[in-house]
Amino acid sequence: MNLAGTPWYRRLHWQILAAMALGAATGAIWGEPAAERVGWLGTLFIRLLRMVVVPLVICSIVSGVASVGAGGGIGRLFGKTFGYYLLSSLCAVLVGLAVVNVIRPGVGADLGAAATKELPPDLRTATSVPDLLLDIVPQNVVDAAARADMLAVIFFTLLFGLAAGALPDEHRRPLVAFFEAAFQAMMKLTGWVIALAPIGVFGLMTRAVASFGLGAFQPMAWYMATILVALLVHFVVVLPLLLRFLGGIHPLIHLRNMSEALVLAFSTSSSAATLPVTLRAVEQRVGVSNRVTSFVLPMGATVNMDGTALYECAGVLFIAQALGIDLSLGQQAVVVLTAVLASIGAAAVPSAGLVIIFIVLEAVGLRGPQVEVIVGLMLAVDRPLDMLRTSVNVYSDSCGAAIIARSEGEVQVDAEFRK
């Protein structure tokens, strides 16, 4: 769409930013009552996004995979996709490790006064590699789709797409045509939902700001600043370097093309809820083909979480520092590895990253009441950090899609800023 003549205040990303500021001000000034009055607008918006996720992902994957055909480079795409996920998550964890070791926010932190016993919600996550693998294979596809169990849905859909692509022309063509048309319809529907983003974001921000646990902020200030710095380093330095050197892409162009999706990731704190917006932005603005996005993005939303991986590592080291425990190099290596694995297992919903921190803590033997008290404090201040790590999670997926598309010869990717 050419919006060259549109005044700035009618452009969606400005409207969303204005809604964020307005929501933050409303939440800060009116507090809880405002959260109750307008919070439902945010819930409504997230429900609309969730409504489109499953059908959008199914149509996108089947049309993408089946149109490539059985032998058409699927294995290569898989390899590149997982190679990128691993590389970017590992870089993120190492950034977290380095920043926490430099700032050392936990050393000497007096957390006793602010202690709460609040524990994170009980989100079910796989805790071992075999569990993770078993979770991916659905026993009942309809049930998996009904629970929006994305990895299971993706697994089946990929296989279905491959099977469809392997059929003789007479069967393959109508199937691909159907899913392609359904995919276009879902994209259109997603566009309609996105047009409501300013209203939804207003509700989400009002509620988020009104319910921040301000009491715990002060003793946790260093911890929060450390995570913020580490996430920023990954967002502003590492991912742009990957874009530049692996994809030959100008990072600022990619950033501008992804602005709407990033703002929505920030306000929803959920990569899964943002997925429809990410898919649309990467296809229509970054210019990546459905063949590549259908591989990299839906899976990336659950598997590739750079922000979460970084957070797991930094959070565990913070806890160890606060307890006065020096982790050996070997133990830090265990933290690095389990942080990557835990981020793969984390659900793409708010606070999931904090819940799975217990997996990493367990891996280095950190447990007990003191640990729980600190995790309770981390929970009290988690929302703003969750917003930031979700944006980093989504950004890493879009960078991956752009890099892989370029490597597949898609020269139009991020060639310009598209509105």
Binding residues (CB under 6 A) for ligand ASP: these are 269-271, 305, 308, 346, 348-353, 386, 389-390, 393
Compare residues 176 and 354 and give the one whose CB is closer to ligand ASP: 354
Q: Tell me, what amino acid is at 357?
A: I
Report the nearest approach of ligand ASP to the CB of residue 308 (Å).
3
CA-closest candidate to residue 203, choices 344, 42, 345: 42
Report the nearest approach of ligand ASP to the CB of residue 89 (Å).
12
Compare residues 253 and 258 and give the one whose CB is closer to ligand ASP: 258
Give me the long-range contacts of 49-53 (CB less than 8 A, separation at least 24). 49/193, 49/268, 49/273, 49/274, 49/276, 49/277, 50/148, 50/272, 50/273, 51/193, 52/186, 52/189, 52/190, 52/193, 52/276, 53/148, 53/150, 53/272, 53/273, 53/275, 53/276
Other C-beta atoms within 10 Å of 4: how many?
Answer: 6
Asked if 92 and 308 touch (Cβ cutoff 8 Å), the reply is no
Compare residues 74 and 303 and give the one whose CB is closer to ligand ASP: 303
CB-closest chain residue to ligand ASP: 353
Report the nearest approach of ligand ASP to the CB of residue 301 (Å).
7
Compare residues 65 and 346 and give the one whose CB is closer to ligand ASP: 346
Report the nearest approach of ligand ASP to the CB of residue 346 (Å).
5
Rounded to whole angstroms, how far apart are CA atoms 57 and 52? 8
* DSSP 3-state of 165: helix
Report the nearest approach of ligand ASP to the CB of residue 392 (Å).
9
Compare residues 27 and 350 and give the one whose CB is closer to ligand ASP: 350
Compare residues 249 and 355 and give the one whose CB is closer to ligand ASP: 355
Q: Tell me, what amino acid is at 66?
A: A
Report the nearest approach of ligand ASP to the CB of residue 126 (Å).
15
Report the nearest approach of ligand ASP to the CB of residue 386 (Å).
5
The sign one gets for the Cα dihedral 405, 301, 125, 326 is positive
Report the nearest approach of ligand ASP to the CB of residue 376 (Å).
16
Compare residues 65 and 153 and give the one whose CB is closer to ligand ASP: 153
Compare residues 61 and 227 and give the one whose CB is closer to ligand ASP: 227
Rounded to whole angstroms, how far apart are CA atoms 129 and 292? 27
The sign one gets for the Cα dihedral 65, 68, 74, 77 is negative
Rounded to whole angstroms, how far apart are CA atoms 81 and 69? 18
